Amino acid sequence: MKAFTDLYWRLDGTTSTTEKVAALRDYFAAAPHADAACALGVLSGGRQVRAVSTGQLREWAAEATGFPGWLVEECYAHVGDLAETLALVLPEPAAPEAAADLGLAEVMQTTIRGLRGSDDAHKRQVVTAVWKRLEPRERIVWHKLLTGGLRVGVSRTLVARALADLAGIDQAEMAHRLMGAPPADAAGFARLLAAGADAADSRRPYPFFLASALDRTAVEHVAEDLGDVSAWQAEWKWDGMRAQLVRRGVDVTLWSRGEELVNDAFPEIVAAGRPLPSGTVLDGELLAVRDGRLLPFAMLSKRASRKQATKKVLGEVPCVFVAYDLLEHGGTDLRERPLADRRRLLGSLVGGPFTDFLHGGSATTGRLFLSPVVRAGSWADLSAHRAESRGRGVEGLMLKRLASPYAVGRSRGDWWKWKVEPLEIDAVILYAQAGHGRRAGLHSDYTLGLWHEGALVTVAKAYSGLTDAEIVEVDRIVRATTLERHGPVRICRPTLVMQLAFEGVSLSTRHKSGVAVRFPRIVRWRRDKEPADAGTLADLKRMIPADG
């Protein structure tokens, strides 16, 4: 635990990529393999176990210190980080040296995972006992592990780079080895570093290549930045779920971009992949389609959240896989080949283009399709196609350089997202909550509402879009117009109007307003408007697509 704590603070204390890689390499070189496997799971963004709730920790800390609960809450509001708040208010440990021998694997298995399913009395006993053994800097890390909320400022790419240096292999090869579930134990971590280790795991996908958003979206700027249109391939930017379909040996596996195996959620796609020749890996998009039309993303998301698809769900939300890249063919890694070559081979493997719903044709049949290329002779032609995107149920265009390899991560320059302009509406701030980290003590998290039948109803939460100076000014107004307080949340008198942008809107039974907006964010403080000038729920509902 002490070694992992040192790593955490070493990473937290620098913005230098070189120093972060060195810290990771030093830790993995010295840590027991069991501890290293646990650390890798956390550092790679793996799903963490939440052994106790933050409410329980606050309650137990108040009892341990003798402080009233409201004082702990006030401290939290000012510090902005619960793990740090509790570490600071708790009494000094009686014997911190006793925790020096606890390895991270032991802490994770016995002290954290072992608490799941335990009664509250046992959890409290274990937590308060550990508090007495850890120094404040270790408590902070332990609290984050305990609540499943530890985040470290390193990317998977940096982790792969450090491990590649340690193993003496290429970084791209290590990135491939890290795809899917991280090593679960010491033996798995040892295989990860060994020469020729598990790299040919037949179920493993490749690291995803991610596109970057264009900084300038006007057609004249796109033409200026990207050059000759003939050097680019344009495709629709699907509003679906990125995935890789892997067919090797007797196995067919389907992986989400989050590196989760989703075979059971999409069994019909797995079945569609079985006729593919062994040694095939497709990159593409999962889309929900019925009667030749795209279904809203919310329906696809609802299905994807299920561990296993029932017959009812299969009927209500039928899905297809639209392939747009070929990463492996006949067992050969094609990622260094130009996109133009990969695309030609892809066309020989996958059936006709997925165009029926785009042109109002017959109902879509089959499950595996080729993503169509959007043909155009100029950037102006492509801009005209892009303008049709929302009506087609897509988010805009993807622009891919025909000579580009399939890179790892977000490598800028070869793949771009040319998205349509977002939907917008003016909304009123109703609730505000203090932020965390550098925004601790400032109310920077907002709940916004629209008018409906003479009252304001909540429709979205937004956490970004204002400048630091504006956040300070809004915080002052929030404090001056607070009507009620409920813990860290303030209910405000309707005063502030914000221009809210979002990618889409759909009907929802989970929200009181009956609608859900996707990726909401503030784009402008409308100082020129009064709350009475804000939009209505009816305005928002008119933005919902006809089928959704």
The model's pLDDT over 505-514, given as tens digits with 9 standing for 90+, comes to 888 877 888 8
**Domain end point (choices 146, 161, 192):** 146
Exposed/middle/buried for 457, CB within 10 Å: 0-12, 13-18, 19+? middle
**Rounded Cα gap, residues 262 and 255, in angstroms:** 6
Mean pLDDT on 360-379: 78
Model confidence at 454: pLDDT above 90:
yes
pLDDT at res. 362: 46
The most distant pair of C-alpha atoms in the chain lies apart, rounded to whole Å, by 75
Co-location of 335 and 371 in the same domain: yes
pLDDT at res. 545: 76
Structural domain boundaries enclosing 79: 2-146
Co-location of 32 and 132 in the same domain: yes
Co-location of 134 and 35 in the same domain: yes
Co-location of 366 and 443 in the same domain: no
With a CB cutoff of 8 Å and minimum separation 6, the contacts of 97 are none
Model confidence at 23: pLDDT above 50:
yes
Token pair in block for residue 235: 């495709």
Cβ(219)–Cβ(379) under 8 Å?
yes
pLDDT, tens only, 85-139: 898 889 887 655 544 557 888 888 777 877 877 888 988 988 888 888 888 888 8
Exposed/middle/buried for 500, CB within 10 Å: 0-12, 13-18, 19+? buried
179 lies in some domain: no
Query: Residue 404: what residue type?
Result: S
With a CB cutoff of 8 Å and minimum separation 6, the contacts of 65 are 72, 89, 90, 91
Co-location of 384 and 413 in the same domain: yes
pLDDT at res. 531: 96
**Domain end point (choices 419, 442, 468):** 419
194 lies in some domain: no
Co-location of 359 and 251 in the same domain: yes
In which element (H, E) is residue 302 found? helix 297-304
Co-location of 288 and 369 in the same domain: yes
For the chain, the straight-line distance linking the first and the last C-alpha, in angstroms and rounded, comes to 50
**180 confidence band (pLDDT: 50, 70, 90):** confident
- Residue 334: CB atoms within 10 A of its CB come to 20
Cβ(536)–Cβ(513) under 8 Å?
no
**365 confidence band (pLDDT: 50, 70, 90):** low
Mean pLDDT on 332-348: 95
Place of tokens 């004082």: 71
> Would you call 325 helix, strand, or coil by DSSP?
strand
Co-location of 135 and 89 in the same domain: yes
Model confidence at 14: pLDDT above 50:
yes
Helices (H), 44-114: 54-65, 69-79, 82-89, 104-106
**437 confidence band (pLDDT: 50, 70, 90):** low
Residue 358: φ, ψ to 5° = -65, -35
Helices (H), 13-68: 17-30, 33-43, 54-65
Co-location of 315 and 402 in the same domain: yes
Nearest Cα to Cα of residue 6 among 127, 192, 30, 131: 30
**518 confidence band (pLDDT: 50, 70, 90):** confident
Mean pLDDT on 2-18: 90
Mean pLDDT on 486-508: 90
Mean pLDDT on 400-420: 92
pLDDT, tens only, 136-171: 888 899 898 888 888 887 888 889 899 999 988 888
Model confidence at 193: pLDDT above 80:
yes
Q: Give CA separation, 13 vs 25, 31, 45, 322, 462, in Å.
A: 16, 20, 20, 43, 29
**Rounded Cα gap, residues 7 and 471, in angstroms:** 33
Residue 386's domain is classified under what CATH number? 3.30.470.30
Model confidence at 192: pLDDT above 70:
yes
Place of tokens 């784009």: 523
Nearest Cα to Cα of residue 434 among 87, 153, 79, 85: 79
Co-location of 380 and 460 in the same domain: no
pLDDT at res. 52: 87
**Domain end point (choices 419, 454, 472):** 419
pLDDT at res. 200: 45
**20 confidence band (pLDDT: 50, 70, 90):** very high
pLDDT, tens only, 240-257: 999 999 999 888 999 998
Model confidence at 366: pLDDT above 80:
no
166 lies in some domain: no
pLDDT, tens only, 38-49: 899 888 777 777
191 lies in some domain: no
199 lies in some domain: no
Number of domains in the chain: 3
Model confidence at 363: pLDDT above 70:
no
Residue with more model confidence, 548 or 84: 84
Query: Residue 534: what residue type?
Result: A
Co-location of 535 and 485 in the same domain: yes
- Residue 455: CB atoms within 10 A of its CB come to 9
Token pair in block for residue 190: 């040892």
Model confidence at 481: pLDDT above 70:
yes
Nearest Cα to Cα of residue 135 among 79, 91, 182: 91
* Mean residue pLDDT across the chain: 87
165 lies in some domain: no
pTM given for the model: 0.76
pLDDT at res. 72: 85
205 lies in some domain: no
Pairing of strands 368-370, 319-329: parallel
Given the residues 20, 237, 400, 419, the one annotated as active site: 237
Model confidence at 527: pLDDT above 60:
yes
Measured in whole angstroms, how far is the alpha carbon of residue 186 from the centre of its chain? 28
Residue 44's domain is classified under what CATH number? 1.10.3260.10
pLDDT at res. 317: 92
Mean pLDDT on 179-184: 76
pLDDT at res. 361: 44
Residue 158: φ, ψ to 5° = -65, -40
With a CB cutoff of 8 Å and minimum separation 6, the contacts of 417 are 211, 212, 213, 214, 237, 395, 396, 397, 398, 399
Residue 394: φ, ψ to 5° = -120, 170
Residue 504's domain is classified under what CATH number? 2.40.50.140
Token pair in block for residue 37: 């496997």
Active site residue 237: yes
Residue with more model confidence, 277 or 95: 277
428 lies in some domain: yes
Co-location of 367 and 455 in the same domain: no
Nearest Cα to Cα of residue 38 among 10, 1, 84: 1
**Rounded Cα gap, residues 450 and 452, in angstroms:** 7
**Rounded Cα gap, residues 186 and 33, in angstroms:** 4
Q: Give CA separation, 145 vs 42, 70, 427, in Å.
A: 9, 25, 37
Following CA atoms 92, 97, 99, 104 in sequence, which dihedral angle do they give, to the nearest 10 degrees? Answer: 120
- Residue 388: CB atoms within 10 A of its CB come to 13
